[in-house]
Amino acid sequence: MKDMITRIVRMEFREDSIVQFDALFSQYQDQIRHFPGCVALQLHEDPDTALVRYTHSKWQSTTDLEAYKNSDLFRVVWPQTKLLFGGKPAAYSLLMIKDVP
């Protein structure tokens, strides 16, 4: 379990493109979620800024996440997503140290 990677990506969109992003995410969410090594995928909206979305995904390993980032699927989804940005995205990869029940 220590290898499991949590990936959080913060994206800010232009007002005229947020609906497009939500549709794009819906279009590809199942393919991303079922990509080898992806064990969870969520989309979140910032409670203070409706133009900010976060993706939260969990991967079995760094290798699996890197395989996704180098995949044909990513090469289709990411360029379309970048066209909609209203600000610079930020991505974080995290290794869990402790799970407190």
Decide if 73 is inside a domain: yes
| 72 falls within a domain | yes
Residue ranges in the chain whose pLDDT is less than 50: 1
Predicted confidence at residue 2, as pLDDT, reads: 56
**Residue 73: phi, psi to the nearest 5?**
-60, -50
Residue-wise pLDDT tens digits, 57-84 = 999 999 999 999 999 999 999 999 999 9
What is the sign, positive or negative, of the torsion defined by CA atoms of 26, 27, 33, 34?
positive
CB 89 within 8 A of CB 10: yes
CA distance 89 to 65: 18
| Whole-angstrom distance, CA of residue 73 vs CA of residue 37 | 14
The answer to whether position 10 is within a domain reads yes
State how many domains the chain has: 1
The per-residue pLDDT for 3 is: 82
pLDDT value for 7: 98
